Amino acid sequence: MTLDKILEEIKKAEKIVILTHEGPDGDAIGSSIAISLAIKSLGKEPDVIIPEHSKSFNFMPEIQNLKKESDVKKYDLAIALDCADAKILNGYTKYYENAKMKINIDHHNSNTMYGDINFINPVAPACSQILIGMLEYFGIKITKDMATCIMTGIITDTGGFSFRATAETFEFAAEILRLGVNISEIFRKTLHTKNKANFELSKRAMDRLEFLEDGKVSFTYITNEDIDEVGAVQGDHEGIVEIGKNIEDVEVSIFLHETKNKGYKLSLRSLEYVNVADIALMFGGGGHYKAAGAYMKGTPEQIKVKVLKEVKKQLK
């Protein structure tokens, strides 16, 4: 079974690296730290390479031990989490490519199966939720710190249990409350508290937000200039795409944020019936039915026209 093979590779490996997608969100960081703690409990010292993250996650255990880079040339084992495609492994694909063994753990439908071992569960609302059953199977006890990281992933990827949460999500929540995990605090720090950079970016995005197609579509964007001016880092755009989606009558929210070298990152959210994963796929990206993304070249205006053309085909 795949899980047996994963455990065998972890036990065999001496040098292990843990990687996730760029612009890391709560699930990316939570999954990475949780699995690193689990591997540590087996007596190993894995490296978690996350060069940059939003300050919103500073409350998480072990966050201060993340590495910006590593001088290890060839890891025995690389584990990628929450990453649909090896191309978006945080600009640190070399650690992945060079590793002797590659494991891919994810919950995106569009996962390209880029690992030697792939463990994909598209039903899981967060990659971190996959780890619950996995660690249980490995016989590794989920500690309070691991649970905090896993729950951070779940809360951020489900918009605070508002979409895709499953029975297992709530069973786990009950269990870890008994462990003493402060779920309310995770909720508040990740969803309610905006850091200043995120707030300033949100203000700009709201100023520019326009309604299209009789108010069924919202569109807005932020540029590198905005990011520099407010002193934001990758990940500080978290949640901005939800602003449009949460406005009355909006079915699809389109949000662009400029990246350093890959043009604009397109984020799409839908409320009920539009399958945004299909739209993202047309532009070489992917994701879930109601949350998806892709990288696109061009100006915000040019991208808007292209994306809107596809969105319109699905609007009722």
Taking the C-alpha atoms of residue 269 and residue 255, their distance in angstroms, rounded to an integer, is 9
Taking the C-alpha atoms of residue 83 and residue 92, their distance in angstroms, rounded to an integer, is 13
Binding status of residue 131 toward Mn ion by CB under 5 A? no
Taking the C-alpha atoms of residue 197 and residue 55, their distance in angstroms, rounded to an integer, is 9
CB of 83 to Mn ion, least distance (A): 9
**Nearer residue to Mn ion within complex by CB, 157 or 251:** 157
CB-count exposure of residue 52 (10 Å: 0-12, 13-18, 19+): middle
Q: Determine the interface stretch with Mn ion among 78-86, 129-137, 160-168, 194-202 (rule: CB under 5 A).
A: 78-86
Question: Binders of Mn ion among 156-215, rule CB under 5 A?
Answer: 157
Reference 194, options 56, 58, 23; nearest CA is: 56
Q: Determine the interface stretch with Mn ion among 63-71, 150-158, 207-215, 245-253 (rule: CB under 5 A).
A: 150-158
Binding status of residue 106 toward Mn ion by CB under 5 A? no
Q: Determine the interface stretch with Mn ion among 94-102, 122-130, 169-177, 220-228 (rule: CB under 5 A).
A: 122-130
Reference 237, options 259, 263, 262; nearest CA is: 259
**Nearer residue to Mn ion within complex by CB, 121 or 314:** 121
| H/E segment holding residue 269 | strand 264-270
Binding status of residue 127 toward Mn ion by CB under 5 A? yes
Taking the C-alpha atoms of residue 310 and residue 316, their distance in angstroms, rounded to an integer, is 13
Helices (H), 91-220: 93-98, 127-138, 144-157, 167-179, 183-187, 196-208
CB of 27 to Mn ion, least distance (A): 3
Taking the C-alpha atoms of residue 218 and residue 74, their distance in angstroms, rounded to an integer, is 45
Nearest residue to Mn ion, scored by beta-carbon proximity: 27
**Residues binding Mn ion: number (CB under 5 A):** 4
Q: Determine the interface stretch with Mn ion among 151-159, 218-226, 244-252, 303-311 (rule: CB under 5 A).
A: 151-159
**Nearer residue to Mn ion within complex by CB, 47 or 106:** 106
Q: Applying CB under 5 A, which of residues 9, 22, 27, 251 lies at the interface with Mn ion? A: 27
Q: Applying CB under 5 A, which of residues 22, 47, 62, 82 lies at the interface with Mn ion? A: 82
Residues that bind Mn ion (CB under 5 A): 27, 82, 127, 157
